[in-house]
Amino acid sequence: MDLQIPQLRLLHHFTTVTARTLAHDPEAEDVLSTYIVKVAFDFPFLLHSILALAALHLGQLHPNFRTEYVLDASRHHHAALTRFRNEVKDIDEDNLAAVLSFSSTIFAYSWAISTATSNDLEHAFGSILSNLHLTRRVRPLVQKSGLFDAMRRSQLGRIMPKDVHVIDWHKPERPEHTELVQLRKFSEIIHHVYPLDIIEAYKDAIIFLEALFDAVGRLTNAPSDSLLKSWLYHISPRFVELLSDKQPGALIVFAHYGVLLGRNRRYWFLENVNELMLKIADYFVPTEWKAWLDWPREEIQRARNMVGVSS
């Protein structure tokens, strides 16, 4: 019987290296490196997702073999998606841990694969959108199942960061002062441009983003990826439609979100996503709208300069 050495190598890398990079604190490392892997043996869609993420991580660590690792990652990701869509119609106590763990790996994978394939902006944006839809699909399933409290009491509760509670997403407070000055101006002038449904979609997304920027700015430590992706859960379905349709306003808001992701140096899979999201917005946004991208452009250049000075 032949051993599947490539898959064993990926699994070993995940348990010994990648899992630690996903954890927000030491207590979460054990859950990610052992418990989730144990769960994955009973749910192949999660196992494939773990292997896909490990392959992307190895590709980043070993640029000379990046092409091969990205190909491996894509194969495992495709297998994970196929199995997930065929096998998960609802969430129950038996598959709760697997589905939530899968959602976490998908968030990391979506950004890592997008930057790995960033030479093709259409493909990179398509990958972001595909995984955005998948990430947003999981949350309603958990809420509908009524198992959220059960999850918090389980092993998975140990990987839930405390900073996810710093914002009341049901009634976010719009800060009096915000660094998103231009974006706030944008939300004020669109009343003269769009119908009500689009105005509301943009306005809510911007208010949520202002609240997130403000909350992250008040933290003493780098934000968790769970806090950062909370914005994706709370933007409206209409906003997601507008983003999928490459509408200028949605792309402008999304580029501002990218600035916040790019500031986070804790997670390898967020490296360069700010530049990618700006490139995508700049590529699709018409010339007459590009001035609204000045602030993200300036912030990204400032970040580059800081990296240059520190190195």
pLDDT of 92 higher than 90 = no
Instruction: Report the pLDDT value the prediction gives residue 210, as an integer from 0 to 100.
Output: 96
User: What's the whole-number average pLDDT of the chain?
Assistant: 89
Confidence of residue 257 (pLDDT cuts 50, 70, 90): very high
pLDDT of 241 higher than 90 = yes
Dihedral sign of CA atoms 139, 260, 128, 284 in order? positive
Separation of alpha carbons 103 and 96, rounded Å: 11
> Distances in Å between the alpha carbon of 19 and those of 196, 213, 302?
44, 27, 31
Mean pLDDT value across residues 25-42: 90
Confidence of residue 182 (pLDDT cuts 50, 70, 90): very high
Instruction: Report the pLDDT value the prediction gives residue 236, as an integer from 0 to 100.
Output: 95
Task: Kindly report the pTM of this predicted structure.
Answer: 0.90
- At 195-234, the pLDDT tens digits run 999 999 999 999 999 999 999 999 988 899 989 999 999 9
Mean pLDDT value across residues 117-131: 87
> Distances in Å between the alpha carbon of 113 and those of 9, 23, 38, 133?
20, 19, 25, 16
Confidence of residue 247 (pLDDT cuts 50, 70, 90): very high
> pLDDT above 70 covers what percent of the chain?
94
- At 261-304, the pLDDT tens digits run 998 888 999 999 999 999 999 999 999 999 999 999 999 998 77
Separation of alpha carbons 311 and 305, rounded Å: 10
- HSE-CB at 293 with a 13 A cutoff on CA atoms is 27
Instruction: Report the pLDDT value the prediction gives residue 70, as an integer from 0 to 100.
Output: 95
Range of 1-10, 221-230, 300-309 with top mean pLDDT: 221-230
Asked if 111 and 270 touch (Cβ cutoff 8 Å), the reply is: yes
Instruction: Report the pLDDT value the prediction gives residue 96, as an integer from 0 to 100.
Output: 87
Asked if 128 and 114 touch (Cβ cutoff 8 Å), the reply is: yes
Asked if 274 and 296 touch (Cβ cutoff 8 Å), the reply is: yes
Confidence of residue 256 (pLDDT cuts 50, 70, 90): very high
Confidence of residue 143 (pLDDT cuts 50, 70, 90): low
Instruction: Report the pLDDT value the prediction gives residue 46, as an integer from 0 to 100.
Output: 97
Separation of alpha carbons 228 and 216, rounded Å: 9
> pLDDT above 90 covers what percent of the chain?
59
Helix (H), strand (E) at residue 143: helix 121-145
List phi, psi (to 5°) of 236.
-75, 155
